[in-house]
Each structure stands twice: as structure tokens, then as C-alpha cells.
Structure 1
Amino acid sequence: MSSRPWSRRARRALLASFVTASVALPVSGASRPAAVPAPAPAAPAPLSTAEPSVLEARYAAGREEIRAARDMAARHGDRRRAATLTGMAGPGRTFLWFDGRDGGRSAEVFGDLSGAERIAVLVPGAGVDLDHYGRLQRGAKALLGELGSGSAVVAWLGYRTPTMLGPSSLTSGRADEAAPGLRSFVRQLGAATPAARMSLLCHSYGSVVCARAASGLEVADIVLYGSPGTGADSAAALHTRATVRAGLGGDDWIASVPHLEVPLPFVTVGFGTDPVAPEFGAEVFDAGGAGHSDYLTPGSVSLHSLAGIVAGKAGGRHA
């Protein structure tokens, strides 16, 4: 954690953000997707192989879990959630696992995992849940399209993401909860696809999750983009053998967020050093003019850069 002194103005700005988010939370929480009930899923066996027959069985089980959650949402009277889940259970959708409770957890595969030479695992940030899953799905499809054959993209919605306007997005609590699950998933995926090159693509608050999970993961790249910081002072502090890369789009509002850590009673607010700053030491890639939600937009500079990293073809300037 950073130990630099904070100016009174910077401290006041971050505390003001915290207070504003705290006031906004009851409003945003009134219709939280976690309020929609769903059945507890069966615990899947660890993924030990990516043989097509094994994957097909996992995908079939995932569809059954989604349909069960859809039926419960319909009985609850939530037509929006039921419609979302109907789409997720449709032909061609392939989920390694699914849990519809508390906003939703899932891992969806795009592409042919059994034959993939390169795999990208997308780790989303704040505000992504079953009712806002479409943007994660669209990004995964766009990345797969840019990568082409021999690739797979996994959209990992494996944790209770923070709300966009709430104190949970300003502290590491949700990331601390998420890290063990991400670490376990990546290790299982790596064991099932040992010949594939794997990259973690970590957007916004997802970069905090990836930083917490980084130590010991056998991945080629950990890519932090649209990041508020990671809670680490440097790439070296992540204790990973992966190449740590970072990018920030020219139109991303997160560039205006103070990169500070402010200790408060029982919690630290903020995530410290900007990953694209020289002192962090990541390899910085070209994110073009991307806005905060635009890094995986088809045809964008940022998407081209991210695909190059996943394919093992991209360099980067050392920040």
C-alpha cells in the first residue's frame, strides 16, 4: 500500500466521493438485481479436461441451471430477469457454470475452448450483473471476432460486483471476496487447457480483483484497463510472473479519479497508484480514445491492442 502523504484537497475530494456514493446507495439499492430469487445450483466437479464430451456435459448442466433460475424469476414476477435468462439458456450459449442468486454468477465460453491455442478471461468491473450482462457478452464476442480461429474468450462473472454508485466500488472488500474464486477458476482452466496461452483482461474494478488474485497464477498476461488503481504500488508488488500491462483510453472518465489511498476507521478508501503511471512499472498499451465502457468496441484501437496481447503479438512501452 502507498504511504505517500495526501494533500488536504485530494483527501477532501476522495472523501466527498465516498459520501456522495453512500448517499446514492439507498436509491440504487431499491431495485437491486440480488432481490430476485434463484435456486441454489448443484456444485460442479472441478474442470480437469477440455475434452469436447466433458465440455458439452458442463454446458448442458449450465443450461439446466439457467432454466431453473428463469422459472423461479418468472414465478417471482420479474419479467425482465426471466427474459434475460431465457436468452442465456438459448441454443449455442455455453456456460461452464451458473448461479442465479444474489445478482448472478457465471462463466460463459465464447469460441471453441477444447481447441483453443489462446484464451482470454474477461473480469468485469462495477455494475455488471445478470440484468446488465449484455455489455459483457458483447465485449466477449467482439474480442473473439478480433482474435479469430484458435481462440476462446471466457466471460467470468464470478463475484458480487460493486454498485456503480456506492461505497463498495471505493474499497477492496468485493475484490477480496472475489479473488479466491478467480484464482481457483483460472487454475482449473489452465489445468484443462495446458497448451493454451492464457491472459487475464481486467476492466475497471476488475483490475482490483485481478491484483488480489495475481500471485501464483500461471497466465501470460495480466491486463489492467480503465483501472482506478489496484491497491498495489507497483506491478512488482503483484508478485506474478505474468507480464503486467495497462491501458487508459483518452476519453475514459476514470482518469479524473484521484489515485490515492485514504485510511479511514475500519476501511481504506481508494486504490493508489495509477497502473499507467511510470512509477507503477507496467507495460502500457495503446488504448486509443476509448471511453470507460468502450475498450472492446469493434474496430477500436483498444480492441486491436487487447487482441494483440492475447495472441502474444503485442509489445508495449514500459511506463
Structure 2
Amino acid sequence: MGHAQRTGTTRHHAASFPPRPGTAAPHPRPRTTRPRRALLAALLTAALVTPLAGAARPQIPAPRPALLTAPLTPSTLPSAYEANRENATEAARMAAVHGDAHRAAADSALAAPSRHLLAFDGRGTGQAVEVLGDLAHAEHIAVLVPGSDTTLDTYTRFHRAAAALYTHLTHRTGSAHGPAPRVAVIAWLGYETPATVSTTVTTTTRADEAAPRLRAFVRRLRTLTPAGTHLSLLCHSYGSVVCGRAAPGLDSDDIALVGSPGTGADSVAALRTRARVWAARGGDDWVADVPHVRAGLFGITVGFGTDPVSTAFGARVFDAAGADHSGYFTPGSASLANLARITLDHPSEVTRG
């Protein structure tokens, strides 16, 4: 969900931890992993106990979220989409008056007639929940849960990932499984993501706040879609922490963790979910060098525990080939193909990692 750089110089990507310092090493990895891990652990500690200085961005004015006049049902979806587009239009106008052309453009894009917004809130860093496809009649739904630094200002990259999956699903060829299934993809920016370099990105605080919202959203989806609809959560980076905290009681069929620093749980069993749990990490993803530990520090738990692609965790590990941290939804990639197979409930076709 973004263009993460291996050098760690950018903050415009949906990562969960700051990238490791230095330049990417060729494969195979040299025997400097342990020093790198120690250095990164020190950096994470410093990020927690030493808040970074810097001027905060002025608050961007925006209207309160749209007040829907009717309960959300399949028949009222069009009016809900329209109400949220109108709200995004007003948010764009207010941002423009405020002098923030970038946010105004982002809001205007979401207000386009072709966009289907289940929710929109232009205040602060912003939140949006967007549907690609016919939600009311979908047989298979994928909900994308993003990682850090995903805001309305960076939403285009998140939308690009959702659109890549939707395109792959709807252009899937072959008759082995009969007629093309009806699918929907949902970009769920339904929580305030942590900044990549911040005191919150190393803890579950934001994930704990987001988890009940994600559970409630999935429950609502179940009332909007036909009985038996297959629902998958595809969770990237810090988004996998959100999914891990939401997992108990989450009414999903599959949970896929990609580029995950951990879930806050030590094993699939500890997630207490009925869903199949999948995990993948690409060969060029810097998150491989993040220490997969949890430790108490000044009364706060830092880190997210067991590596989700490890044998100890117990997930179904699938192939992501050489994906980097931002590459799991790249068109034509092994990871995107496998995420589509998970979405379509074809577990036997998922290639293992």
C-alpha cells in the first residue's frame, strides 16, 4: 500500500515499522542480520521513548460524516453511496478554502460519480470505506486492511491495491470453476493508522482501537450480502496487527497476513478464530529483519510476537515470490494471484511458500 523504499527515507508507505537502515543487500543475505536486528530494535525503542520533534500539520476542516436517513440495506446502498460522495464534495471545498490543494484533490477524487463510499470522514487524517463491485450480490468479498501511513492524503495508493485485486478477480479466465463469480473488494480505511515513524507503530494501541470497528463492519457486511457469501480479510503490514486483535469473534472465512510484523498473538490458535489463517512475506520485504518479539517497556508492550510465516505460528504460508513491502498487490505478481485464490475460496490452488 505504498511505495516503501528499502532505504527507509520515505514515510509515504503503508508499513508497520521503519525500514531497516542502509541499502538493500543482494541475495543471499550476508551474515549481518543479527547486528541489523539489534540496531533496529534500538531504533524501535528510541522511537517509543523519544517522541520525534516536528511541527504538526494544521488540522484540515471537514464536515461531520454524512447522516444516513435510512438503515443500510441492499436497497439503500445507492443512497448511502450518494450521501457519502456529497460529503466528500463538501470536504474538498472546505479543504480548498483552507488552502490544502492536495487534500482537496484527494477528497474530490473520492467524490466522483463512479466511486462507491460506504463511509467517509474528511476530518483529521481522514477515513474512507470504498466498495469496488456489486456488494449486494457478491458471492466473494475481500476486505483490504491497510497499514501505517494510510490516510486520505495517501489513499490513492491504497485504492490502487484494491483495484488491482478487483481487476484480477473480474478478469480471471478459465472455466474450471464454472461461470465467473460475483465479487466485491472493499478498501477499509476505517481506523486512524499510525505513522511509520511514531511512538504508536511499535504497539497494538491503534490496532486495539480499530479491532471493534472492524468486527462491527464485518457484521454489517453479513447483513448486506447473501447468505453463504465467502468473506476474506487481506491484512497488510500494521493492518495485520489490526486483524490479529480483531480475530476473536470476527465473522470471516479467511484471514491473510502479508508483510506482517506480527499479530500480537504467538500462534494461530491464540487468535481464537474459525477462519483459515494465511501468511506470506516476499523475498525483498524489509519486515523480515524486524525483531519478532514482545517486550514490556515502561508499562507498555512493544512488538508483536511470533513471526506469522514461521512454523511456530502455524499459518498456511503461501508464495509471495520476491515482493517488497509494497508489492503484494502488484499486477502479475505471485502474491496477488494467491490472494485472489484465497478470496475465491480455492485453497487447493494457492501455491505454498
- The TM-score with structure 1 as length reference comes to 0.90
Letter in 2 for 1:147: L
- Residues 42/87 of structure 1: CA separation in 2 closer, same or farther (3 Å cut): closer
2:262 equivalent to 1:262: no
SS at match of 1:35: coil
* Structure 1 segment 29-44 matched on structure 2, within 5 A: 30-31=56-57, 35-44=59-68
Out of 137, 142, 145, the position equivalent to 1:123 is: 145
C-alpha displacement at 1:50, in angstroms? 2.3
* Equivalent residue, structure 2, for 1:151: 183
* Equivalent residue, structure 1, for 2:321: 288
2:331 equivalent to 1:302: no
The count of corresponding residues between Structure 1 and Structure 2 is 308
CA distance in 1, matches of 2:344, 2:36: 43
Answer yes or no: is the 8 Å Cα contact 1:281–1:318 preserved in 2: no
CA distance in 1, matches of 2:246, 2:71: 19
* Equivalent residue, structure 1, for 2:53: 26
2:211 equivalent to 1:179: yes
* Structure 1 segment 45-124 matched on structure 2, within 5 A: 48-51=72-75, 54-124=76-146
Task: Give me the CA root mean square deviation.
Answer: 2.3
* Equivalent residue, structure 2, for 1:137: 159
CA distance in 2, matches of 1:217, 1:48: 20
- Residues 229/114 of structure 1: CA separation in 2 closer, same or farther (3 Å cut): same
Letter in 2 for 1:14: A
- Residues 156/47 of structure 1: CA separation in 2 closer, same or farther (3 Å cut): farther
* Equivalent residue, structure 2, for 1:165: 197
* Structure 1 segment 188-199 matched on structure 2, within 5 A: 188-193=220-225, 194-199=227-232
CA distance in 2, matches of 1:185, 1:276: 27
Q: Give ranges in structure 2 of 5+ residues lacking alignment.
A: 1-33, 171-179
C-alpha displacement at 1:93, in angstroms? 0.5
Answer yes or no: is the 8 Å Cα contact 2:218–2:250 preserved in 1: yes
- Residues 48/36 of structure 1: CA separation in 2 closer, same or farther (3 Å cut): closer
SS at match of 1:120: strand
1:179-207 CA distance string (max 9 Å, x none): 11111001100121133110000000000
Letter in 1 for 2:59: A
Letter in 2 for 1:308: R
CA distance in 1, matches of 2:123, 2:93: 13
Answer yes or no: is the 8 Å Cα contact 2:85–2:113 preserved in 1: no
SS at match of 1:42: coil
Letter in 2 for 1:177: E
Answer yes or no: is the 8 Å Cα contact 1:44–1:97 preserved in 2: no
C-alpha displacement at 1:8, in angstroms? 12
Answer yes or no: is the 8 Å Cα contact 1:18–1:167 preserved in 2: no
1:187-244 CA distance string (max 9 Å, x none): 1001211331100000000000011111112211011110000110001111110001
SS at match of 1:38: coil
Q: Give ranges in structure 1 of 5+ residues lacking alignment.
A: 1-6
SS at match of 1:227: coil
More helix by share: 1
* Equivalent residue, structure 2, for 1:4: none
Answer yes or no: is the 8 Å Cα contact 1:24–1:165 preserved in 2: no
* Equivalent residue, structure 2, for 1:236: 269
C-alpha displacement at 1:47, in angstroms? 5.9
Letter in 1 for 2:94: M
- Residues 284/170 of structure 1: CA separation in 2 closer, same or farther (3 Å cut): same
* Equivalent residue, structure 1, for 2:26: none
CA distance in 2, matches of 1:102, 1:236: 37
- Residues 119/167 of structure 1: CA separation in 2 closer, same or farther (3 Å cut): same
Letter in 1 for 2:201: S
CA distance in 1, matches of 2:291, 2:214: 27
CA distance in 2, matches of 1:278, 1:297: 26
SS at match of 2:168: helix
- The TM-score with structure 2 as length reference comes to 0.82
SS at match of 2:244: helix
C-alpha displacement at 1:306, in angstroms? 0.3
1:120-165 CA distance string (max 9 Å, x none): 0000000100000011100011000111151100000001100011
Answer yes or no: is the 8 Å Cα contact 2:233–2:256 preserved in 1: yes
